[in-house]
Amino acid sequence: MSATNCLRCLSRPSVSRGVVVPVFAPTRTAAAFSTTAVQNAMPSKAKSAENQDRSVKVYRAGRKMTIKKKSTTDRGKPPGPGERKAFRKKIVLSNDNALPVPWVPEMEAGSLSDPKQVGKIVSLPATLQDQLRATEAFQPTQTWGLFRKPSTLVREESVQLMGKMEKAVADKTTARIVLTGEKISGKSTMLLQAQSHAYLNGWIVIHLPDAQELTNGSTEYSPIPNTENPTLYMQQNYCLKLLQSIKKSNEKILAKLLSVSSHSELPQNITVNQPLLSLINAAKEAEGAWPVFQALWSELNAPAAANRPPILLSLDNLPHIMKPSAYRSSAFEPIHSHDLSLVKLFVDALSGNTRFPSGGAVIAATNRNNGPRIPSMELALKQRLAAQKGEEVERKDPYFKGYDERVERVLRSVEVLEVNRIGKREARSLMEYWAASGLLRTTVDEQTVSEKWTLGGGGVLGEMERAALLTMRV
């Protein structure tokens, strides 16, 4: 294709030649050297604002300052009230993508207390799952959602703990135990195991899933009438929630248990020989929840002749109830956590003031991540632990002011169970379970186990999970 333009002269052949002949007007001789096209001068512009004569006022006309509205992008419907929290607290207990592990047996009544079972994985039966869900024993931070079926490892500590619980039932005493240990070493899971054991053995379980909820000022509170020195406070909303969870998780047993005394003070009159389930049902609203809970507690602790089942009272995040709460009295003085009636109930049981007539256990777990530092509690636990091991007991610092005598009184005679690091044998069976679930893409031999065990701080279970399970390399 030939070019339409002559490339040498860059002039268009189509344009008539006659026009191109330049006419040099004498006035334009000065611009002979310019490379631009010959054009008439532009008409002179109006004077710019700077050069304008200031004496003459000129009003701007025709223009207005307008603020542009930001264009709002449609972000969709915001989550409704409570939806975010529900998402945060959502607990997923199964994962259909994970492989089922055929050789994991279901948990039975005696499987957690059997020393032969140490280092084995057992799965939670469906009914137990529902019960534990009702008491909020599962926590969203735990890795239940990765596996096909929720299962736990039977550890040496769990066998010890269940042994203590069984012994307490046999002796009709109350085992008072505090679980301590490093961060993510499995204290809350140990609580879950204790509850599982209790449910499977027909105990009544009352579980306070997070002590923080009781003391950080997030639920309503009111003084209990006719209490002086110190004034006690009830948290009716929390009580109602607790009653409902007790009802849901212990329904079968409570339906069989009959009341031994009449409770005319309740909104719904409860007479003798009515099932305790109807007693709980009497609490329809938050208003009467605390008296109903009190009535239930007195029924459960009825004299030994009533043949009540053993009770497990458990609480997670213990340090939160070992300090002044975020609540204030009418004189605007901080209320000590032990003056909150529910906490007082737990603390009385933990200190040994309340004894369960047919035996039982009070188990509390400390927390290290979010827990406040309570010097008295830390010292008391250290002292108990040293005394149990037969070592020299650390003394109280006589010049330190941060001790709390009420806390010391509570923890004076508790038993401390340290949730330690797991051994390599336990670690191996755990990792085999992970691999069998399709979550660990390696051959589980001694070397891998040793590697992950070391990476996990020498067998800190949560750290091992972080090292092997949560950072999977595909």
Tell me the two tokens of residue 114. Answer: 């059997």
Tell me the two tokens of residue 168. Answer: 């307490």
Q: 125: Cβ–Cβ under 8 A, 6 or more apart, which residues?
A: 106, 107
Binding residues for another protein, rule: CB under 8 A, are 99, 398-399, 432, 434-436, 438-447, 450
d(CA 365, CA 411) in angstroms, rounded, equals 13
Residue placing its CB nearer to another protein in the complex, 100 or 303: 100
d(CA 297, CA 21) in angstroms, rounded, equals 115
Q: At what angle do helices 236-249 and 126-134 cross, to 10 degrees?
A: 170
> Do 343 and 410 meet the contact criterion of CB atoms below 8 Å apart?
no
d(CA 301, CA 174) in angstroms, rounded, equals 12
Alpha helices for 57-125 (secondary structure H) = 83-88
> β-strand 174-181 against 415-419: which pairing, if any?
parallel
- Helix, coil or strand: residue 327: strand
Distance of CA 70 to the CA centre of its chain: 38
**Local structure of residue 399 (DSSP, 8 states):** T
> Do 204 and 298 meet the contact criterion of CB atoms below 8 Å apart?
no
d(CA 154, CA 157) in angstroms, rounded, equals 8
d(CA 230, CA 152) in angstroms, rounded, equals 43
